């Protein structure tokens, strides 16, 4: 499995660390809504198909990435920086290069 | 039900083995049942068997998407053990062990249960202390456990280097002698035959595509072979739990599906006659009755329904195997396969009524479902028949996460990929 890091290009999955489900929304730290905290900690969508997930390029540039990967085929359709304000996808970068 | 005996084997052998009956019928599904069990794996079949045997509920259908043995029951590494730390787990898995010990007799089917022992190796003083603690916890609850010294381990596994020169020196180990292995296919076939002979319909190639409802209540299922109604619908689909529960409108569960790979080598002469686990990583190995070394390691560690893994974990498992047994470096790997595990958030299973009225749920086996097969079916059948859990599965509820009552044997909390 290859993941195309927006900085480093396509790299083997061994350079990356899985950081889990990216669909969850962390409640405000001051929130005392126990249901929201429980849902954040324990509940998962677990789809068979495209899944939003966080990976870190821990063996490379160390960027935190948001990846859309198909859980049935391992096909990766999008890689972006996890932080919203750096939202350039690898696909866009690849297009810019060519 | 006793069709298999020394006499019947001999009589059929003399007649060219032409008169055996099929182990189970191939019935068409009826319009309705008392209980539908979704999932014809080990747990679903065991549930059907114990519903019929222990509770007299025989108007039951087991619906299997593929064919019996095509899912996790045919994709595991066949190890059976009850060496847990926490009381809820120890009681449950020890109940399973006791059922295993009588299973071939009970089913009149040789499941080749072999109590060859399971040895956890310790490589650090802290790990050895931890195993001593676990062994004491097990013995408090009546489960056998013994600490072994390197010299005793050397006698048990001559191929293992227990000297100080080893890559990861062995300081000792925790042995459960009553643990061992069983023939996984035979477990599925034996339960299927036992349930079938008691009147349960086992319907293969029947995929559940949705649920029938009356208000909130589940009243049956829609399948690729038509609608089937039932008073009670039980779900035992292991790695597919997320998908099937989404069909019922339950969008989120405290579960992630991950793939676990396992491997078998070419057949060797007798090499190891126990199950051994490596304490410096996650590696376990036993030798099958055919001679192949059967072994595995960690899950791949990211969500997957693929039933196939990726190479980095193959690499990892092989390195751990060679760290333990350098002499296996030239042995050829015959096959590898991947099973989809429903990893729960605390590493323990869920056997419960609900979450919807009319529904019963059995899931979250992580990668330890095979050894639990008898007790899982036994407890799930009790729960379905009586609409309440047996004391063995009472702690394994779905809402334990929200109530703060997690059963976290490994202490790795809400990170399924770490269990």
Q: Report the run of H or E that residue A91 belongs to, with start and end.
A: helix A90-97
Q: What is the pLDDT of residue B413?
A: 86
In chain A, the N- to C-terminal Cα span, in Å, equals 23
Which of the residue ranges B70-74, B220-224, B372-376 would you say has the lowest mean pLDDT? B70-74
Region B133-145: mean pLDDT is 96
Q: What is the pLDDT of residue B361?
A: 97
SS3 B284: strand
Reported as a single tens digit per residue, the pLDDT across B335-346 is: 999 999 999 999
Cross-chain residue pair A72–B310, CB shorter than 8 Å:
no
Phi, psi of A5 (to 5 degrees): -70, 135
Q: Is the pLDDT of residue A88 over 60?
A: no
**How much of chain B, in percent, has pLDDT values that exceed 90?**
94
Query: Which residues in chain B have Cβ-Cβ distances shorter than 8 Å to A47?
Result: 242, 246
DSSP B57-87: ---EEEE-SS-TTSSGGGSS--EE----SSH
Q: Is the pLDDT of residue A91 over 60?
A: no
Q: What is the pLDDT of residue A84?
A: 66
And the tokens for A79? 């890689």
Nearest to B266 by CA among B320, B314, B336: B336
Per-residue burial over B294-311, b if 16 or more Cβ lie within 10 Å, else e, is bbbbbbbbbbbbbbebbe
* Angle B79-B83-B85 from CA coordinates, rounded to 5°: 145
Compute CA distances B404 → A45, B132, B306, B407, whole Å.
21, 28, 32, 9
Q: What is the pLDDT of residue A25?
A: 87
Region A18-25: mean pLDDT is 91
Can you tell me which residue has the tokens 């990976």?
A55
Region B343-358: mean pLDDT is 95
Region B63-80: mean pLDDT is 94
Q: What is the pLDDT of residue B354?
A: 87
Q: How high does pLDDT run on average in chain B? A: 95
Could you tell me which residues of chain A have a Cβ less than 8 Å from any Cβ in chain B? 1, 12-14, 18, 20-21, 34-35, 38-39, 41-48, 51, 53, 69, 71-74
Reported as a single tens digit per residue, the pLDDT across B21-65 is: 899 999 999 999 999 999 999 999 999 999 999 999 999 999 999
CA distance B114 to A58: 44
And the tokens for B350? 């869920």
CA distance B243 to B355: 15
CA atoms within 13 A on the CB side of A53: 30
Region label for B39, one of left (φ > 0), alpha (ψ between -120 and 50) or beta (otherwise): left
Compute the nearest-CA separation of A96 from chain B (Å).
30
Query: Which residues in chain B have Cβ-Cβ distances shorter than 8 Å to A51?
Result: 303
Compute the nearest-CA separation of A51 from chain B (Å).
8
And the tokens for A90? 């690898």
Region label for B230, one of left (φ > 0), alpha (ψ between -120 and 50) or beta (otherwise): beta
Region B62-90: mean pLDDT is 94
Compute CA distances B249 → A21, B63, B190, B243, whole Å.
20, 20, 34, 10
Nearest residue of A to residue B343, measured between CA atoms: A46
And the tokens for B317? 């498992």
Q: Is the pLDDT of residue A96 over 70?
A: no
SS3 B53: helix
CA distance B363 to B340: 12
Cβ atoms of residues B63 and B37 within 8 Å: yes
Region A65-89: mean pLDDT is 82
Q: Is the pLDDT of residue B1 over 70?
A: no
Cross-chain residue pair A44–B256, CB shorter than 8 Å:
yes
Q: What is the pLDDT of residue A93?
A: 44
ipTM of this complex prediction, to 2 decimal places: 0.87
Give the confidence band of B308 by pLDDT, cuts at 50, 70, 90. Answer: confident
CA distance B302 to A55: 10
Can you tell me which residue has the tokens 């789809």?
A47
Q: What is the pLDDT of residue B138?
A: 97
């Amino acid at each position: 499995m290859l993941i195309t890091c927006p900085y480093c290009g396509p790299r083997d999955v061994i350079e990356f660390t899985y950081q889990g489900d990216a669909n969850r929304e962390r409640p405000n730290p001051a929130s005392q809504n126990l249901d929201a905290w429980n849902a954040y900690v324990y509940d998962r969508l677990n789809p068979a198909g495209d899944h939003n997930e966080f990976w870190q390029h821990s063996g490379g540039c160390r960027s935190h990435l948001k990846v859309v990967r198909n859980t049935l085929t391992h096909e990766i359709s999008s890689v972006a920086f996890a932080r919203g304000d750096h939202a350039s996808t690898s696909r866009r970068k690849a297009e810019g290069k060519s | 039900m006793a069709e298999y005996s020394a006499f019947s084997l001999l009589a059929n052998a003399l007649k060219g083995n032409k008169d055996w009956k099929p182990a189970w019928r191939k019935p068409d599904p009826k319009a309705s049942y008392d209980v539908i069990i979704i999932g014809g794996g080990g747990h679903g079949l065991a549930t059907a068997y114990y519903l019929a045997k222990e509770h007299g509920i025989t108007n039951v259908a087991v619906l299997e998407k593929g064919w019996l043995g095509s899912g996790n029951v045919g994709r595991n590494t066949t190890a059976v053990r009850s060496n847990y730390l926490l009381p809820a787990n120890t009681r449950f898995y020890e109940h399973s062990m006791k059922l295993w010990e009588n299973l071939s007799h009970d089913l009149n089917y040789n499941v080749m249960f072999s109590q060859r022992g399971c040895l956890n190796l310790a490589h650090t003083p802290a790990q050895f202390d931890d195993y001593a603690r676990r062994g004491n916890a097990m013995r408090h609850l009546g489960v056998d456990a013994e600490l072994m010294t390197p010299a005793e381990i050397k006698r048990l596994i001559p191929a293992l280097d227990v000297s100080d020169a080893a890559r990861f020196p062995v300081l000792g180990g925790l042995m459960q002698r009553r643990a061992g292995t069983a023939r996984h296919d035979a477990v599925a076939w034996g339960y299927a035959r036992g349930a079938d002979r008691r009147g349960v319909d086992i319907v293969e190639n029947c995929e559940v595509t949705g649920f029938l409802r009356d208000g909130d209540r589940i009243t049956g299922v829609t399948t690729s072979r038509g609608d089937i109604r039932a008073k009670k619908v039980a779900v035992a689909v292991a790695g597919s739990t997320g998908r099937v529960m989404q069909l019922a409108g339950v969008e989120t569960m405290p579960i992630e599906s991950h793939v676990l790979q396992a491997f078998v080598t070419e057949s060797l002469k007798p090499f190891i006659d126990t199950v051994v686990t490596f304490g410096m990583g996650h590696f376990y190995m036993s030798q099958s009755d055919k001679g192949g070394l059967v072994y595995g390691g960690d899950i791949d560690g990211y969500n997957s329904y693929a039933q196939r893994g990726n190479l980095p974990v193959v690499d990892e498992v092989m390195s751990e195997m060679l760290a333990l047994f350098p002499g296996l470096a030239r042995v050829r790997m015959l096959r590898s396969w991947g099973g989809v595990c429903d990893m729960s958030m605390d590493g323990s299973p869920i056997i419960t009524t609900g979450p919807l009225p009319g529904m019963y749920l059995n899931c979250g086996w992580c990668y330890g479902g095979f050894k639990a097969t008898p007790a899982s079916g036994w407890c799930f059948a009790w729960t379905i028949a009586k609409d309440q859990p047996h004391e063995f599965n009472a702690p394994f509820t779905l809402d334990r996460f929200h109530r703060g009552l997690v059963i976290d044997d490994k202490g790795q909390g809400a990170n399924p990929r770490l269990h």
